[in-house]
Structure 1
Amino acid sequence: MDAIEIRTLHTLLASPYRQQIELQHVLHQADYVTLRVRIREQKRFTIFDIDEPTARAWGLAMLEWADTLAQSGQVKAGEGK
């Protein structure tokens, strides 16, 4: 692996299936930075690195989705009907 520095930025537990999500700042030997997304679901891990434009687009898309749900009054995960 070519990472020379990995720093955890945020860890959260996603509902309703309790996946653990960890966001990491990764500095690579080739002098570039990625956002590493690690998703743990029981014993299985999904790990991938994304660049800044992808992280920005993904984050905005998730915010738009969450805002749409909030504005529509739909039930959030973990809340009863």
Structure 2
Amino acid sequence: MSQAPKRDIGEIQAPYGRRIRLDEIAYESGMTLLRVTIREGGRYTILEIDAATADRWGQLMADWAAGRSVDE
């Protein structure tokens, strides 16, 4: 099984030495997901999300950062 091609989107240096890395993953089936890798010391948390989920997540974070009320 070959590894799905990935494209580097970017990396964020977060507080307390954490790093957040974003990669676009393109699978042979045609599905493309955003891989979010959060590194905390030696621990990794990896999520693969679709565009709709990334859009909603991004909106919630932007609203929070702007001090706007975040309602579900």
Structure 1 equivalent of residue 6 of structure 2:
6
- Residue 30 of structure 1: CA displacement? 1.2
1:23 aligns with 2:26: no
Task: Give me the CA root mean square deviation.
Answer: 1.6
Unaligned runs of 5+ in 1: 70-81
- Residue 60 of structure 1: CA displacement? 0.3
Unaligned runs of 5+ in 2: none
Q: What's the TM-score once normalised by structure 2's chain length?
A: 0.86
The number of residue pairs the alignment matches comes to: 68
1:47 aligns with 2:46: yes
The separation in 2 between residues aligned to 1:53 and 1:26, in whole angstroms, is 15
Q: What's the TM-score once normalised by structure 1's chain length?
A: 0.77
**Compared CA separation, residues 47 and 53, structure 1 to 2 (3 A):** same
Percent of aligned positions that are identical: 35
SS in 2 for 1:30: coil
- Residue 31 of structure 1: CA displacement? 0.9
- Residue 2 of structure 1: CA displacement? 6.6
SS in 2 for 1:65: helix
SS in 1 for 2:29: coil
